[in-house]
Chain A
Amino acid sequence: MAFSPLIDELIESLRCLPGVGRKSAQRMALHILERNREGGALLAQSLTLALDKVGRCDQCRTHSETPVCRMCSNPNRNPSQLCIVETPADVLAIEQGAGFNGAYFVLMGHLSPMDGIGPAELGIDGLLQRLQTQTIEEVIIATNPTIEGDATAHFIHQQLQTLPLSVTRIAHGVPIGGELEYVDSGTIAHAFAGRKSYT
């Protein structure tokens, strides 16, 4: 069955969303046209607005529609601790779980030489500038426990060595409620390497 050109175009456009194949795109398009035109109009409007207005925060590089994002301009946060993460979603995860009240720097990715993603793409220069101009006492590197995340953490650590601040890396280990027998050997190895003494 063939749709009219505009509907076809809508279906094709919807497929740019993650996890949306031809079938789901078709369902979404027909749903909007048949049952929820108002919602569709709202979607179109917010999409246009967001694409137009949302840029990057000058300080932490996360998505923001103001030059400095809300988190960075919040006077109740402690600017002497800076946590470096790969993605805005990681900021959210830490906000929900870590009781961390410092500032963030979002790399928007990790070093991946094979994909041509180097220090410049991650804004490392901006990070160094920020560390040189602001009084930051501790940098917490919270990149993912992957090879690329480790390579990124090591690179940043090397770059920070001459600066008078403490650099830490978040610990990796066995998940809460997890059973050792079901944990992969890489995680076990990390958990052992990072074991702590009772104090």
Chain B
Amino acid sequence: MLVMEQQPAYVLHSRPWRETSVIADLLTLHSGRVSVIIKGARKANGKQPAKRALVQPFTPLLVAFTGRGELRTATSLDAAGPPLFLQGRPLYSGLYANELLLKLLAVDDAYPALFAYYQTLLENLCIKQSVEQSLRPFEVHLMDELGYHVALDKEFETQVPVLPEHCYRLVPLQGLCRVKHQDGNAQLIPGHVLLELAAGRFSEPSCLKYAKYIARANIDQLLGGKPLHSRTLFQSMAVAPPPSQGLIDN
């Protein structure tokens, strides 16, 4: 039996297991994504703060678990801080990030940097920074960590630098190609926008919508047709108006 020390973690998702327990999918600092059984997580615990309050997404935790393979068993679980209060669109964005991590991260690969990016994302969502401005850098970091760095400042086949006055199209997960003659159906991205995004500047609304297009194209390619339920849910919230319509959102 391999017993690990307590490490920082967040619950990405949990489901009931037997009478009083849950199986939680965690993002941990040192072990990456793991599934653990948390015993007694659904029962009130007398005078102890109830475990069920801890086993919620967006609550910083310290977790230790034992065992190997697909399903571990949590041996201790403590709060590492107050839960991050996400409401409304930020809450949905957090659920979207969780679904991405759940679907894209392999079990047991550690991504310490990603853990920090995730934490930053939650903090930004919490202080009500724009949802789009919080999500886009996170998506870029996620792709980088997964080994799909998509360079936005040069063409992927020729390594020729992107120039502000030219237009480019994205080959998902590969990179950019300069488009010399508009061929009708390709989404064109202006070079000056690409250079802004390559420098990590996501503040311009016009840049943000291209950033969204790029992130979505890459992620969809990586998911290979698997749907993102949280995105569908986000879109079905009729009252919250979509930030930009037209070409980009198709």
On A, residues with C-beta under 8 Å from B are 18-19, 111, 113-116, 118-119, 146-147, 150-151, 154-155, 158-159, 161-162, 179, 182-189, 193
Bound Cα distance from A154 to B240, whole angstroms: 11
Closest 8 CB pairs between A and B?
Answer: A113-B229, A184-B49, A184-B53, A113-B230, A19-B19, A186-B83, A185-B82, A158-B239
**If the complex has contacts A154-B87, A158-B239, are A18 and B19 also in contact, measured as CB distance less than 8 A?**
yes
B208 close to chain A: CB less than 8 A = no
Pick the residue among A18, A19, A155, A187 that contacts B237 (CB under 8 A). A155
CB–CB B91/A150 < 8 A: yes
Given A154-B87, A182-B48, A193-B85: A114 and B236 interface contact (C-beta under 8 Å): no
A150 to B57, CA, bound (A): 12
Q: How far is the CB of B125 from chain A (nearest CB, A)?
A: 13
Separation of A193 and B242 alpha carbons in the complex (Å): 29
Tell me, yes or no, whether B218 is within 8 Å of chain A by CB. Answer: no
**Residues from chain B with Cβ under 8 Å of A113 in the complex:** 95, 99, 229-230, 232-233
A154 touches B88 (CB 8 A): yes
- Chain B residues within an 8 Å CB radius of A154: 87-88, 91-92
Q: Closest residue to B16 on the A side, CB-wise?
A: A18
Nearest CB on B from A37, distance (A): 29
- A residues near B56, Cβ cutoff 8 Å: 146-147, 186
Contact (Cβ within 8 A) B229 A185: no
Of all chain A residues, which has the CB nearest B231? A113
What is the CB-to-nearest-CB distance from B96 to chain A, in angstroms, rounded to a whole number?
8
Given contacts A151-B91, A184-B53, 9 further A-B contacts (CB under 8 A): A18-B19, A114-B95, A118-B232, A147-B56, A158-B239, A182-B47, A182-B48, A186-B82, A189-B83
| Residues on B with beta carbons closer than 8 Å to the beta carbon of A118 | 229, 232-233, 236
| A-B pairs with beta carbons under 8 A, tally | 79
For B240, the chain A residues whose CB sits under 8 A away are 158
Residues of A with C-beta under 8 A to B58: 147
Q: Which of A115, A155, A183 has the most CB of B within 10 A?
A: A155
Q: Which residues of B contact A (CB under 8 A)?
A: 13, 15, 18-19, 47-50, 53-54, 56-59, 79, 81-83, 85, 87-88, 91-92, 95, 98-99, 102, 229-230, 232-233, 236-240
**If A158-B240, A182-B48 touch, does A189 touch B95 (CB 8 Å cutoff)?**
no
Contacts of A18 in B (CB 8 A): 18-19
Give chain A's interface secondary structure class: helix
Whether A114 and B53, one on each chain, are in contact in the complex, defined by CB atoms closer than 8 angstroms, is: no
A18→B102 CA distance, assembly (Å): 28
B82 nearest CB neighbor, chain A only: A185
Contact of A161 among B81, B83, B92, B239 (CB under 8 A): B239
Shortest Cβ distance from residue B66 to the other chain A in the assembled complex, whole angstroms: 22
Residues of A with C-beta under 8 A to B238:
158-159
Residues of A within 8 A of B239 (CB): 158-159, 161-162
What's the least CB distance linking B173 to chain A, in Å?
24
CB closest residue in chain B, given A150: B91
Assess A114 versus B237: contact at CB under 8 Å? Given A150-B87, A183-B49, A184-B79.
no
CA distance A182 to B239 in the complex (A): 40
Q: Known A150-B91, A154-B91, A182-B47; judge A187-B53 contact (CB<8 A).
A: yes
On whether the beta carbons of B85 and A189 are closer than 8 Å, the reply is: yes
Residue of A nearest to B233 (CB): A113
Which residues of B are found within 8 Å of A114, using beta-carbon distances? Answer: 13, 95, 98-99, 102, 229-230
Return A6 CB to nearest CB of chain B, in Å.
Answer: 27
Known contacts A113-B99, A114-B99, A184-B79; A158/B13 CB under 8 A:
no
Query: Complex Cα distance A76/B118, Å?
Result: 52
Collect the chain A residues with CB atoms within 8 Å of residue B236's CB: 118-119
Interface centre among B15, B98, B237 (most CB of A within 10 A): B237
- Specify the chain B residue showing the minimal Cβ separation from A189: B82
Most chain-B Cβ atoms within 10 A of its Cβ — which of A116, A118, A151? Answer: A151
